[in-house]
Structure 1
Amino acid sequence: MRERFPFAGELELPDELQGWEEMYPEYFQFELTEERTEYERGRFWFWDKKDTTEPLMPWDMTISAQAWQIAMAQNTSRVFAIPPSMSVDIRVIAGYAYFTGINVEDEDLLNERAELFTERSDYYYENYDALYNGTWLPEVKRIGEEIDDLEVPPELPEYTPEEAVIEGKGQSQDTLTVLRNYNRLTELALEGWQRHFEFLYLAYLAYMQFTETSRELFPDISDDAIGKMVSAVEADVFRPDQELNALAEEALELGGSVPEILKSDRDPDEKIKQLRADGKGQEFMSLFDEVKDPWFYMTYGDGFHSYEGSWIEDLEAPFDHLRSKIERLEDGESLGRDFEELQSEREAVVDEYRQYLSAEERQLFDDAYETCMTVYEYAENHQFWIENWLHTIVFRKMREFGRLLENEELLDDAEDVFLFTRFEVAELLEEACSTWALGKGAFVSGRWKDRATKRRGIFEAAKQWDPSPALGEPPEEVTDPLMQMLWGITTEKVENWLNIESEPTDTDTLEGFGSSSGRVEGPARVVDNTTAIDELEEGEILVAPLTNPAWAPVFPRAEGAVTDDGGITSHAAIVCREYGLPAVTGTGHATKLIETGDRVRVDGQAGVVEIVEKASKPE
């Protein structure tokens, strides 16, 4: 067994990745100075596969690392002063993010922070509804709407409108508008991420406090039992799937040609055209159009990668889901969650545990439970409103700037705008404005196009690279509860990483978090990315690195779920509890050991996955 993971400077990167450093802000790169290298090599860094399963585009770093680091770190260090957790530091290698937690060990500082944290967190817990619905959600919507309204011309005009002279403006406003609105876009994106973390750790800490209270009162209680007591949460992240369910039911109720059009193999544009030409189809499309904004602002991935796209821009996924749901309804199946039944099950579990407690213990339990249930919805809601809805708007607006740069001949393709950092895009736009100002026929440099071509090759090579799961010397024991809950990182998983060194082993048993109870056996379907999720067939067990909100509509097809990463509060864990599917999360390397077609047995109570029979036995 290896004693440690490689340091960043020891990694052997493919030749195709040479020059990747030019694509990303210097601040996020490892080993820039001797002093910094000493600091970095003295820490344990883990690859954030939860959010960067694939590399980040340079501009996407704006929201996936730059805004993230500031917002995430200050929330724990400066705003709520979470006693043991100072912050999380971030570095990037070829577009992949690595995290390290910075903890507080000084006893005096812990006490100082504990007093401040108690005062501030109590206020948020006590006033959550007013703060969330009265301030947080309206402000997030305001940010998105303001970004949407920013004016970006497709190209700069041949001549500035005469109003510039008639109204005494003195100069063209076109270039000022472009530069001002790009700066405003990045400013609003950063502001959105300030909102992203506002309640997030408080929600997770409330869950952790309830978990700790439950374990103190019931030493043998399982993670799954605790999870069941906080299930059946009416979170906005489930609304896209719920709205699709309602649309499928409405399509059958309308009847006529509507169900047949929706079940056809035509592309979305053709289906929409046919529906709008049909009387009942027009009724359906009226409902469809009402649902699209905001509930189809779902990205095809995790929300952090501009190239993944969104439902509202590509309606393939919602129409595929509608076809599947209509067919299920026609077969007599029910759709979605039986929310009332889930609530009844939750209340029954809570009541069962409460009856074993004394009056004093029950009060302690109830206080922790009430706080958790009050704020825990935020853990899911922020994913929809920031990582899906807001990011869709941000990326869409960036494409408008990309089209401007393409039309002004500084880029070959509007999508290439994401190959540059936010500071480089500002420079690109300034050069476009300066070239325009020189007049028709002014020299246009091709260096940005050359850089984009080179960077596109590096980025595609990065997508094929398999980074080390961690860097540096691991701790003897992983004790950070947030690392366990959010990323599923445990002492055992780190030891497994050291043992397998990213290579499959010959074991037929994996262990992880028992995140949703139940036992099931069936054929596996390994899904490495969002584009392959529709390959999941009825009765199969989903095996994936992670899941994200866009996958929710296909969960009813699955018999269970297994993930490489994520803890008991990961998306897969929460959704599987909502749908009553057995799930084991945070196995470390299920997608490396299991192949599509393998017969697997999932024990969501014990957190164990067994490969019962291989689809193809080795010769």
Structure 2
Amino acid sequence: MSTQTIKRFASPYDDAPPPEAAGWEELYPYYLHFREDRREAEEARFWFADTQHWPTVFKPFDTITVEFAIRCLGQYNTRHYVIPPANGIDYRVHNGYVYMSPVGVPEADIPARVPEFLERAGFYFQNWPALLENWHTKIRGVIDELESIRFEPLPDRVPLADITSGKGLDPHLAFTHDYNRLIELAYTAFQYHFEFLNLGYVAYLDFFGFCQEAFPGISDLGIAKMVQGIEVDLFRPDDELKALARMAVSRDVDLDGGLVAVRDEVWLAAWEAAMDPWFNFSSGSGMYSSDKVWLDHLEIPFGFLRDYVAELRAGKDIARPTEAIGAERDRVTSEYRALLPEDAQAVFDEKLGLSRLVFPYVENHNFYIEHWSLSLFWRRVRELGQVLADAGFWGEAEDIFMLRRDEIPQAIFDYGNGWAVGAECAGPFHWPGEIARRKDILAALSAKPPLPAMNEPPAVITEPFTIMLYGITSERVGQWLSGGDSEGGLSGMAASPGKAEGVARVVLDADELGSIQAGEILVSRITAPSWGPVFGQIAAVVTDIGGMMSHAAIVCREYGLPAVTGTGSATTAIVTGQRIRVDGDSGTVTLVA
């Protein structure tokens, strides 16, 4: 974008909420607001909407995921590894949506950070396998503890055994402790989330920079191809469904009557084995309490399974093209390597080797944190919500998410207080009306789409994580300011190679995946890893947001699907039924008819 550009996005202070959403700010912690007394500083910064991870309006409790995630991301950049060019990412909630603003490092401070980074990050790179094994032990400890927590109604009487043993404590104390511990475990999981993640990106960016200098004109996709062909646990849920489908076909298991009608004990045992842990898989990003988890909604994986069975019986190969992707990776790598002199080949091998060593974590952590840990976390909070719903505090378990997390200890104490003194709690009189009011506010906020960005953008966007993960480039920002691409098409990141033409299917929610027809092109704000089973039916993917290293881009490359990410406006510029052409090599989407 030219430095002469004077256009800017609206200020958050001038972007008013719908009238029906007045007072929305009180639904979220004070530190997430654009405050009037900080206006000058806030308006001097560029903010963009993170609809890649958090595409919808937050229920009050659900901000816990963005708060913990972005806080922990920052600490590893800024305080643990001292990454030379990047501190953390600041964030705010505006009109219910989250906005990000990377915190840069002054250029003069970068050289002094390099030795610290090399020492700290270097230790992790040199001891990656052992440290990663320790990470698995730590995160499994979090998962096991999340499994062990249970919320049950307080008993009418303290057990006699507590009296005769001289315990001297009431069960409400444990109830309170378990809620506090639940929050601590979520916080711990996000600490572990970023222990390795940014180092994976740093290693790739180092290899990326080397290739750009060594091979002038090399495409971003050409570099990405050299680290593709990964086998990670994130793909296991889909692989388990494929294995179950093959088994169902070989054993002639009839799935038409639904799961309850299956009588094959061997197949049912395999289904049960796959469920734990692989069905702890969210249909969304896992970052919202409302995301449906396979284990709690078995109709989702069962529906995918039946589709796979139908494809197998029609003679279709449902396997991911791992061999072809690996062969393409090796071909591209060898051809570029051969262009280098011998001494440079050694450097190339070292940087590529490190990228391939650490890169699987970039996807692998998703299953253990966003899916397995968070699905357990939301389940436990929902159990607590049910206990308080049964006590009359609100109508249903889900209503607990309409409270900020700092309000829940008040409700818990109120519940225990009424129990202890034998009197009515205040909660049943306070919360039902307040929750209804908040639901109306959220409905009003949801009716207004978020601004893609706010304030004046920098002349040139150079922050590597912003470009790689979000696809926020100077060109993309320029298109937002000018109202989008031309009527003839869209442009974005060339995220996964290949070309396809077909009918568009715009999907804004995971619940709409069942409407996809074979051969259609999926158009969405972003895709989730659990959407893998539909990738065997579609011809290509187009997303609003996401860079070369976004989850959508990586997963599409591993499934061999053409993809253009980071278009900015695909879901509003394209309608279901429209014929489009996707070029994953050039990053363009053409509106054919």
Q: 2: CA distance between counterparts of 1:157 and 1:443?
A: 19
Q: Distance in 2 between matches of 1:25 and 1:442?
A: 25
Q: TM-score, normalised by structure 1?
A: 0.93
Matched residue, 1:139:
138
Aligned partners of 2:112, 2:126: CA distance in 1, in Å?
22
Matched to 2:145, the amino acid is E
2:260 to 268, 273, 286: 273
1:616 maps to none
Matches within 5 A, 1:515-594: 515-594=495-574
Report the CA distance between 1:453 and its aligned residue: 1.0
- In the TM superposition, residue 572 of structure 1 has moved relative to its aligned partner by 2.2
Q: Which amino acid aligns with 2:155?
A: P
d(CA) in 2 for partners of 1:171 and 1:198?
A: 38
Q: Structure 2 matches for 1:30-429, cutoff 5 A? A: 30-33=34-37, 36-65=38-67, 67-107=68-108, 109-133=109-133, 135-153=134-152, 155-172=153-170, 174-255=171-252, 258=253, 260=254, 262=255, 264=256, 266=257, 271-275=258-262, 278=263, 281-429=264-412
Mapped to 1, the partners of 2:192 and 2:402 lie a distance apart of 26
Deviations 1:176-215 (A, max 9, x none): 0110100000011101100111111111111111111111
1:496 maps to 2:479:
yes
Say which SS state the counterpart of residue 251 (structure 1) adopts.
helix
Deviation for aligned residue 1:592:
1.1
SS at match of 1:190: helix
- CA spacing shift, 1:164–1:136, aligned 2, 3 Å: same
Preserved CA contact (<8 Å) 2:17 2:445:
no
User: How far off its partner does 1:581 sit?
Assistant: 1.8
Tell me the CA shift for residue 463 of structure 1: 2.1
Q: Which stretch shifts more, 387-396 or 208-217?
A: 208-217
Native 8 Å contact 2:415 2:425 kept in 1: no
Cα distance, 1:443 vs. partner? 5.9
1:528-581: per-residue Cα shift (whole Å, max 9, x none)?
111112222111111111101111111111111111110111222112211222
Q: Distance in 2 between matches of 1:79 and 1:48?
A: 24
- Cα separation, 2, equivalents of 1:25 and 1:216: 45
Checking the alignment, whether the CA contact within 8 Å between 2:150 and 2:380 is kept in structure 1 is: no
Structure 1 residue 105 displacement after superposition = 1.0
For residues 440-490 of structure 1, the C-alpha deviation after alignment (integer angstroms, 9 at most, x for no partner) is 556655111211111111122222221111111110011111101101101
Amino acid at match of 1:30: F
Amino acid at match of 2:80: V
CA contact (8 A) 2:321 2:560 kept: no
Partners of 2:361 and 2:329 in 1: CA distance: 19
SS at match of 1:312: helix
- SS of alignment partner, residue 50 of structure 1: coil
Q: How far apart, in 2, do the equivalents of 1:373 and 1:326 lie?
A: 34
1:24 alignment partner in structure 2: 28
Q: Secondary structure at the match of 1:400?
A: helix
Matches within 5 A, 1:460-499: 460-499=443-482
Q: Distance in 1 between matches of 2:573 and 2:24?
A: 31
The one-letter code sitting in structure 2 at the alignment partner of 1:96 is Y
Distance 1:70 1:225 in 2: 33
Shift of 1:336: 2.5
Q: Distance in 1 between matches of 2:563 and 2:93?
A: 31
Equivalent pair of 2:479/2:485 in contact (CA under 8 Å): no
**Letter of the 2:83 counterpart:** I
Q: CA deviation at 1:384?
A: 1.2
1:344-395 CA distance string (max 9 Å, x none): 2211211111111111111111111001000011111111111111110000
Q: Secondary structure at the match of 1:588?
A: coil
Rounded to whole Å, the distance in 1 between the matches of 2:571 and 2:424 is 55
* 1:338 to partner: Cα distance: 3.0
- Does the C-alpha gap of structure 1 residues 442 and 297 become closer, same or farther in structure 2, counting only changes over 3 Å? closer
Deviation string, structure 1 residues 130-161 (Cα, Å, up to 9, x no partner): 1112x1112111101101201311x1111111
Task: Using the TM superposition, name which of 73-82 and 347-356 deviates more.
Answer: 347-356
Q: Which stretch has the larger CA shift, 23-32 or 163-172? A: 163-172
Tell whether the 8 Å contact from 1:5 to 1:472 is kept in structure 2 after alignment: yes
CA shift digits 1:259-308 (9 cap, x unpaired): x3x2x2x5xxxx33222xx2xx2111100111111111111211111012
How many matched pairs?
589
Q: How far apart are residue 2 of structure 1 and its match?
A: 6.5
Provide the secondary structure at the position in 2 that maps to 1:376.
helix
The percent of aligned pairs where both chains have the same amino acid is 38
Which structure 1 segments of 5+ residues have no match? 614-619
Q: What is the CA distance between 1:170 and its match in structure 2?
A: 2.6
Q: Measure the CA separation in 1 of the matches of 2:36 and 2:513.
A: 40
Cα 1:539–1:411 shift into 2, 3 Å: same
Alignment RMSD, CA only? Answer: 1.5
1:590 Cα deviation (Å)? Answer: 1.1
SS of residue in 2 equivalent to 1:92: strand
The amino acid of 1:514's aligned partner reads A
The one-letter code matched in structure 2 to 1:168 is: G
Q: Distance in 1 between matches of 2:413 and 2:549?
A: 44
Decide which of 594, 606, 609 is 2:586's aligned counterpart: 606
Distance in 2 (CA, whole Å) between partners of 1:449 and 1:437 is 23
Alpha-carbon distance, 1:221 to partner: 1.3
User: Is this contact kept in 1: 2:186–2:377, CA < 8 A?
Assistant: yes
Over 3 Å counting, the alpha-carbon distance change for 1:32 and 1:197 in structure 2 is farther
- How far apart, CA to CA, are the structure 2 residues paired with 1:394 and 1:92? 22
Runs of at least 5 residues in structure 2 that lack an aligned partner in the other structure: none
- Does the 8 Å CA contact 1:227/1:577 hold for their aligned counterparts? no
